[in-house]
């Protein structure tokens, strides 16, 4: 969450007037400011408690030097900095736009013309970056901003000069974001500019399909797929499959250069709106909000909504419009229900809102853990689907393929159709629409076909996700059927000793949480995940992933005593988090249940100071698991 400036803080940094606090990380914080010419800038500062540490000052000076070397039409230019003062800072041009990851999440995959624009812009950015002798090393959707005139690449915090051999982290550490790393990064080998091209291929695949071509249930499994598995490109438009596949070749020498990518794409037509209209609408609204921040030139604005420190300013959401009708799709729900897809919502309303019934109470998480998702979903759908909502799938529900998910949910597939039920999830990110469903408020996430019924944001519920592209008919039908059977969902005949019914918050006692720098008691995040927050954060997750033999670069086995062995998993942020996993139970030849403990904190060397304590906590957790 965004915190205001304290009364003792200056509202000026150099020549820049502070307009609000954008966010903070382990090394520093980012402020939104305006310069003398009225331009918005993002100012990064080192945390005060790190200023006496020569290592962090040197790292910050290096980031400034790297960022200042990069200037081009598709990057965020450095406009000013001060590395020698009492409080070092770096000011970069603030890009008004939508982060690519949020654009895909809220508006769905990009159409082919927009994908070509994205590919051309990012290839141009990489050409500019590589021409200075740098490798970005963290090209991912969150570091790409969709501006009104094209994409921009941001965040050069872990960029590195080719051939310098500069060591940013301890030997063997994995640097970057797992889903968008190159094989050489995943193996902790030296990287060159071809590593950024591989990341570009993964990023373009995600923009085209909504999914990373190597994504798995954990960072370790994702790294395994990057090194050993072929990318999943079936859903990529045929026009771009050759380009993306070329970028994702395992051999760095076999990948195209940014210049070759530009030659392959050719000269694109000039477009006044390169992105879908909904993205441009968001950009325009953000621009209006930025203008409103400077309506009083002498004021320091404190922004009241959470904003990504390296991305954009999100304007306050508008009050939902009021309607006089409600959605009639079944009986009163006993729990929140969410339907997610990628297209607009089609809602049929036929009753006045004034006649809403009293909402039912939500079931507890203990009840939700007992439900068998792969029995419930096909049973709720019935033996056959109506012909007008089949969405190209088989109408006979018995012909669908059903598979349990890692969170004890269920995924059904039939041809191109896919429907996933998850139980005990949170409704964060959903806002009220003003409509109700049998007396329960209807909530929605962004402009997706993603609906929440009967719970405030953050409440417990059930999610239903579908990959429909042209209609939400299948999703809406599934919601109606699930709600209709909400009162008596089938209970799982849990295998003896399964983790599915275990309360993760009951596995760590208060004293253990405090010893690791967190506060007690724990707070449920989902039915199978619990967090203990404080100076450090502990997160315990019980899950059911595919069984994959992890390579040695992704984990090492740690003996925590008394015959208990855990996996030390590769971290996306090796300095500031610690990941440990216990393999609880093998199920057949393919699957196993695991308990994963994550400890995160603001201090850069938390792995050195807290990993032993984390291992001790996980050892205690193991002793409390079912026998």
CB 583 within 8 A of CB 554: no
CA distance 429 to 449: 13
- Among left, alpha and beta (phi > 0; psi -120 to 50; other), residue 484 is alpha
Least confident of 138-152, 294-308, 574-588, 606-620: 294-308
Residues catalogued as catalytic? 138
CA 445 remoteness from chain centre = 15
CA 102 remoteness from chain centre = 9
Is the Cα dihedral 609, 308, 140, 220 positive or negative? positive
Task: Please write the tens of the pLDDT for every residue from 463-474.
Answer: 777 666 456 677
Least confident of 120-124, 381-385, 446-450: 446-450
Helix segments in 356-500, DSSP class H: 365-369, 373-381, 473-484
CB 293 within 8 A of CB 19: yes
CB 540 within 8 A of CB 213: no
Task: Please write the tens of the pLDDT for every residue from 523-572.
Answer: 888 889 999 988 889 999 999 876 656 555 556 888 888 888 998 887 65
pLDDT at 231: 92
Residues whose CB falls within 8 Å of the CB of residue 270, separated by 6 or more in sequence, listed in order: none
Task: Please write the tens of the pLDDT for every residue from 483-498.
Answer: 778 778 888 776 567 8
pLDDT over 60 (residue 331) = no
Q: What is the mean predicted confidence (pLDDT) over 161-171? A: 41
- What is the number of alpha carbons within 13 Å of residue 527 lying toward its C-beta? 26
Q: What is the mean predicted confidence (pLDDT) over 258-266? A: 92
The CA-atom distances, in angstroms, between 27 and each of 149, 174, 411, 563, 599 are 32, 18, 40, 38, 17
pLDDT at 467: 65
Greater pLDDT, 458 or 229: 229
This prediction's pTM? 0.53
The CA-atom distances, in angstroms, between 241 and each of 73, 155, 178, 238, 558 are 26, 28, 22, 5, 42
Pairing of strands 536-543, 529-532: antiparallel
pLDDT at 136: 85
Q: What is the mean predicted confidence (pLDDT) over 113-131? A: 92
Greater pLDDT, 573 or 244: 244
567-578 burial code (b ≥16 CB/10 A, e <16): bbbbbbbbbbbb
Is the Cα dihedral 126, 225, 462, 403 positive or negative? positive
CA 415 remoteness from chain centre = 27
pLDDT above 70 covers a percentage of the chain that reads 69
Greater pLDDT, 25 or 340: 25
Mean pLDDT of the chain: 75
Confidence of residue 622 (pLDDT cuts 50, 70, 90): very high
pLDDT at 54: 73
């Amino acid at each position: 969450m965004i915190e205001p400036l304290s009364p003792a803080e200056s509202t000026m940094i150099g020549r820049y007037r502070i307009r609000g606090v954008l966010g903070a990380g382990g090394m520093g914080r980012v402020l939104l400011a305006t310069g003398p010419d009225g331009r918005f800038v993002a100012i990064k500062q080192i945390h005060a408690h790190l200023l006496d540490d020569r290592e962090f000052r040197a790292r910050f000076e290096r980031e400034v030097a790297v960022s200042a070397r990069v200037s081009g039409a598709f990057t965020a230019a450095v406009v000013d900095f001060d590395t020698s003062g009492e409080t070092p800072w770096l000011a970069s041009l603030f890009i008004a736009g939508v982060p690519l990851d949020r654009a895909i999440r809220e508006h769905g995959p990009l159409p082919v013309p927009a994908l070509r624009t994205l590919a051309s812009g990012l290839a141009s950015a990489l050409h500019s970056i590589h021409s200075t002798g740098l490798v970005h090393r963290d090209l991912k959707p969150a570091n790409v901003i969709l501006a009104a005139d094209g994409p921009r690449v941001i965040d050069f915090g872990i960029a590195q000069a080719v051939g310098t051999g500069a060591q940013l982290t301890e030997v063997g550490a994995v640097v970057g974001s797992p889903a968008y790393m190159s094989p050489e990064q995943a193996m902790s080998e030296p990287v060159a500019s071809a590593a950024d091209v591989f990341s570009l291929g993964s990023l373009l695949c995600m923009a085209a399909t909504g999914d990373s071509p190597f994504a798995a249930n954990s960072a370790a499994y994702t790294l395994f797929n990057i090194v050993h598995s072929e990318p999943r490109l079936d859903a990529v438009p045929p026009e771009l499959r050759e380009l993306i596949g070329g970028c994702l070749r395992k051999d760095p020498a076999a990948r195209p250069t940014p210049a070759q990518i530009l030659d392959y794409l050719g000269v694109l037509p000039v477009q006044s709106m390169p992105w879908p209209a909904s993205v441009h609408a968001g950009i325009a609204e953000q621009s209006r909000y930025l203008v409103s921040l400077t309506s009083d030139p002498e004021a320091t604005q404190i922004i009241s909504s959470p904003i990504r420190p390296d991305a954009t300013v999100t304007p306050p959401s508008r009050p939902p419009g009021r309607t006089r009708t409600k959605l009639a799709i079944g009986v009163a729900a006993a729990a929140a229900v969410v339907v997610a897809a990628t297209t607009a919502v089609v809602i049929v309303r036929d009753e006045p809102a004034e006649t809403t019934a009293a909402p039912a109470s939500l079931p507890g998480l203990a009840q939700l853990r007992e439900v068998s998702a792969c029995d419930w979903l096909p049973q709720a759908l019935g033996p056959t689907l109506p012909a007008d909502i089949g969405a190209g799938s088989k109408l006979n529900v018995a012909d669908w393929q059903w598979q349990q998910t890692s969170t004890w949910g269920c995924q059904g597939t039939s041809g191109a159709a896919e429907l996933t039920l998850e139980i005990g999830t949170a409704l964060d990110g959903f806002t009220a629409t003003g409509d109700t469903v049998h007396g329960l408020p209807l909530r929605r996430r962004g402009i997706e076909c993603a609906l929440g019924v009967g719970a405030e944001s953050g409440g417990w519920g059930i999610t239903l996700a579908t990959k429909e592209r042209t209609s939400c008919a299948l999703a809406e039908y599934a919601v109606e059927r699930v709600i209709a059977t909400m009162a008596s969902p089938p209970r799982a005949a849990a295998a003896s000793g399964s983790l599915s019914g275990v309360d993760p918050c009951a596995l760590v006692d208060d004293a253990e949480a405090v010893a690791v720098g967190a506060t007690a008691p724990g707070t449920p995040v989902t039915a199978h995940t619990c967090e203990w927050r404080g100076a450090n954060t502990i997160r315990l997750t019980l899950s059911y992933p595919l069984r994959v033999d992890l390579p040695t670069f992704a984990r090492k086995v740690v003996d925590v005593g008394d015959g208990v062995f855990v996996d030390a998993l590769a971290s996306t942020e090796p300095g500031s988090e610690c990941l440990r996993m216990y393999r609880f139970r093998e199920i057949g030849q393919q699957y196993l249940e695991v308990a994963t403990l994550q400890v995160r904190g603001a201090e850069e060397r938390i792995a050195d100071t807290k990993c032993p304590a984390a291992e001790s906590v996980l050892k205690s957790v193991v002793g409390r698991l079912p026998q």
